[in-house]
Amino acid sequence: MLRRGDARRYNSARMPRTNERLEALLSEWADLLEISGADSFRVRAYQKAARAAGGHSRDVGDLGEKELRQIPSIGAHMAARIREFVETGTMHDLEELRELVPAGLRELTRIPGLGPKKAVLVNRELGVASIPDLLDAIEHQRLRAVKGLGAKTEENLLRGIRNLREHGGRMTLDVALRVAEDVIEELRGRAAVEEVAYAGSLRRMQDTIGDIDLLVASTTAPEVTEAFVGLPGVQSVVARGDTKSSVLTAKGLQVDLRVVAPEVWGAALQYFTGSKAHNVKTRAIAVKKGLKLSEYGLFEVESGRRIASRTEEEVYAALGLPWILPTMREDAGEVEAALRGDLPDLVSLGDLRGDLHGHTDSTDGVATLEEMLGAAAARGYAYYAVTDHAEKLHMSGMKRETVLEQRDRIRSLQGRFPTMAILHGCELNIDRDGGLDYPDEFLAGFDFLVASIHSRFNLPRDEMTRRLLRAIENPFVNVIGHPTTRMIGRRPEVDVDLEAVLSAAARTGTALEVNCHPDRLDLRDEHVRWAVERGAAIAISTDAHAPTHLENMRFGVATAQRGWLTKARTLNARSLRDVREFVARKRGK
């Protein structure tokens, strides 16, 4: 959970709504084009336009066609489509395309590991037109009869389908948070509402959210409920009572609302934040003390007297516990640690002094070097690493002369942001054998290096492990970026001996990343915990491709907290000097 001040700090500047909707629509368009066999150039044009619209610093809805065409990757055709969307709320050609592509086929592309290309292939060769069809084909081993597919594909797709089912119907953190913040903003102004907050898995900042739980303190519950079910974003009302109601938004997201009396606010917040397992533990502690804990407060069993309910702190204190960060409330040992007075001091947003992974328009970012640096400096960072893609990234890596030009530009920009140092870095591609894009002499010219897997996600476990270990052993590699490469709901984690990777990282002085993008959150919470136990350092990095992405830091911090990461173990909570020393030590200097 964010400290109270942090949330406010980052609420003000978020991605404009139109940009976000356009990004989603244009990338859907790209997928549909690919399924219908359009040439790859066209598909890429839509993908690029999607990213450009999503990452643009101004609200694209406010721009005319001429201004739109000045955005890189947006041509006349795309500009006209965007205007059409802004004016009519839809894009006619996209709607037509949706009609053309069968729903079953569209569903297939939602399976992690099955992109549009493979979906077309299994459809054409095997007549597979839905997920049940695909499961049937896998079961009868029909996939391996198709050229280019094999037993390994079957295994991967099964994992993908499982992954889809696990996360299916759940939303990513950013989506949930935006809906919750919108509803809260609507309710906050009403006279009947004394307090309003989100609880549940969103407050615990789990990587995916089943439904959003909102809590309101009020003395006039019916009035609040009335306002809630009548909000503009509400599509349908699932349940409606005096103190308890549920609605669905247009996208089918469920929002639950509970209205409680102001004097039991703390107890209700504690109860509805959960997790259920954490609550079981806290209730057991109450029972041992002759008390009873519910959403209405902490009571003495014998007298029925309420002894705490106003704030969460009071409730925990009356149980003999310190207040516990919501991100820790998973019954993962936090209650025991709290009882021992041994809760670790976890990293928080305010501890971070820099961001060590970010892109510019020299590769696939959508903003210039100066724009990215300006946004980073505005966050008060003491350092920022520019890590554009190295040359072997398909179609968008930097040639060596571009790297050197960028280095010169960065040199001339040092001092432009008086309190922020600029590190010249690069995001290297780990090839299938663990090799990197450039020879060591060239790597030595960088201040800081991230190395990531961007291809060959399906290697067998031992090969994948060897691959990552070799990259970790390179003296110039400082961070392994998004180590498991998962995309939530879309691509499963690579099969790797993570314990071996973490141990090697700890031994060699290499950090592992918590990639803050809400579609990644990689390492995830549990893996962070393993890393902490094995003594590896963690870099919490946004991998920003646009200035707005810098705000994703809050998701990475929450994920790190869920993995019990301390400030001491967080690379980018250290001073610039210590980060430089981290680099120098690995290089043997």
Q: How far is the CB of 479 from Zn ion (least distance, A)?
A: 11
| Residues between 255 and 274 that touch ligand DGT (CB under 6 A) | 271-272, 274
Q: Rounded to whole angstroms, how far apart are CA atoms 215 and 328?
A: 20
Name the binder of 123 from ligand DGT, Zn ion, Ca ion, none, CB < 5-8 A by kind: none
Cβ-based neighbour number of residue 184 at 10 Å: 15
Q: In the complex with ligand DGT, which residue's Cβ is closer, 60 or 335?
A: 335
Cβ closer to Zn ion: 207 or 427?
Answer: 427
CB atoms within 10 A of CB 163: 21
DSSP 3-state assignment of 407?
helix
How near is the Cβ of 169 to Ca ion at its closest, in Å? 12
Instruction: Give dist(CA 349, CA 516) in Å, integer.
Output: 12
- Shorter beta-carbon distance to ligand DGT: residue 476 or 555: 555
427 binds, among Zn ion, Ca ion, ligand DGT, none (CB under 5 to 8 A by kind): Zn ion
Radius of gyration of the chain (CA): 25
Length of the chain: 589
Q: Name residues contacting Zn ion, limited to 419-458 (CB under 5 A).
A: 427
Write the binding mask 233 to 262 for Ca ion: x where contact by CB under 5 A, - elsewhere.
-----------------------x------
**Which positions from 190 through 209 interact with Ca ion, judged by CB under 5 A?**
200-201
The smaller minimum CB distance to Ca ion, of residues 170 and 586, is found at 170
Number of Cβ atoms within 10 Å of the Cβ of 190: 17
Question: Among residues 20, 31, 34, 211, which is the contact residue for ligand DGT, using CB under 6 A?
Answer: 211
With CB under 6 A as the contact rule, the residue among 27, 249, 275, 508 that binds ligand DGT is: 275
Quick one: 202 or 502, whose CB is closer to Ca ion? 202
Structure tokens of 374? Answer: 């300006």
- C-beta of 205 vs 498, nearer to ligand DGT: 205
By beta carbon distance, the residue nearest ligand DGT is 274
Residue 494 as a binder of ligand DGT (CB under 6 A): the answer is no
Tell me the per-residue interface mask from 163 to 202 with ligand DGT, x by CB under 6 A, - otherwise: -------------------------------------xx-
> How far is 366 from 378, CA to CA, in rounded Å?
18
- What is the number of other CB atoms lying within 10 angstroms of the CB of residue 413? 14
**In this complex, which beta carbon is closest to Ca ion, that of residue 175 or of residue 339?**
175
The binder of 543, among Ca ion, Zn ion, ligand DGT, none, by C-beta within 5 to 8 A per type, is Zn ion
Q: In angstroms, rounded to a whole number, what is the distance separating the alpha carbons of residues 54 and 56?
A: 6
Which 3-state string (H, E, C) describes 112-175?
Answer: CCCCHHHHHHHHHHHCCCCHHHHHHHHHCCCHHHCCCCCHHHHHHHHHHHHHHHHHCCCEEHHH
Cβ closest to ligand DGT, residue 113 vs residue 489: 489
Cis peptide before 275 (omega within 30 of 0): yes
**Closer by beta carbon to ligand DGT, 19 or else 172:** 172
H or E element, residue 217: strand 212-217
- In the complex with Zn ion, the residue whose CB is nearer, 207 or 543, is 543
**Lookup result for tokens 């190395």:** 451
3-class secondary structure, 434 = coil
Output 267 or 430, the one with its CB closest to ligand DGT.
267
Does position 396 interact with ligand DGT (CB under 6 A)? The reply is no
Choose the stretch contacting ligand DGT; rule: CB under 6 A; options: 86-94, 205-213, 430-438, 560-568: 205-213
Tokens of 78: 């795309």
DSSP state of 574: S
- DSSP letters of 456-519? -TT--HHHHHHHHHHHHHSTT--EESSTT--BTTTBPPP---HHHHHHHHHHHT-EEEEE--TT
Contacting residue, 20, 23, 31, 213, with Ca ion by CB under 5 A: 213
To the nearest 10°, report the CA torsion of 279, 281, 285, 290.
60
Q: Which of 153, 246, 279, 327 binds ligand DGT (CB under 6 A)?
A: 279
Of 317-325, 540-548, 559-567, 575-583, the window that binds Zn ion (rule: CB under 5 A) is 540-548
Q: How far is the CB of 214 from ligand DGT (least distance, A)?
A: 11
Which of Zn ion, Ca ion, ligand DGT, none is residue 272 near (CB under 5 to 8 Å by kind)? ligand DGT
Shorter beta-carbon distance to Ca ion: residue 361 or 525? 525
Cβ neighbours, 10 Å, residue 175: 17
Sorted by sequence, the CB contacts under 8 Å of residue 513 that are 6+ apart come out as 357, 450, 479, 480, 481, 482, 483, 522, 523, 538, 539, 540, 541, 543
User: Applying CB under 6 A, does 213 fall inside the site for ligand DGT?
Assistant: yes
Q: How far is the CB of 168 from ligand DGT (least distance, A)?
A: 12
- Single out the residue of 256, 312, 543, 551 in contact with Zn ion (rule: CB under 5 A): 543
Measured in whole angstroms, the distance separating CA 243 from the mean position of its chain's CA atoms is 33
Find the residue with minimal CB distance to Ca ion: 200
Phi, psi of 259 (to 5 degrees): -110, 130
Q: Does 211 bind Ca ion (CB under 5 A)?
A: yes
User: Which region among 56-64, 159-167, 207-215, 260-268 touches ligand DGT (by CB under 6 A)?
Assistant: 207-215
CB nearest Zn ion: which residue? 543
Yes or no: say if 476 and 447 are a contact pair by the CB < 8 Å rule.
no
Residues that bind Zn ion (CB under 5 A): 427, 543
Q: Contact positions toward Ca ion, by CB under 5 A? A: 200-201, 211, 213, 256
Which residues contribute to the site for ligand DGT (CB under 6 A)? 200-201, 206, 209-211, 213, 271-272, 274-276, 279
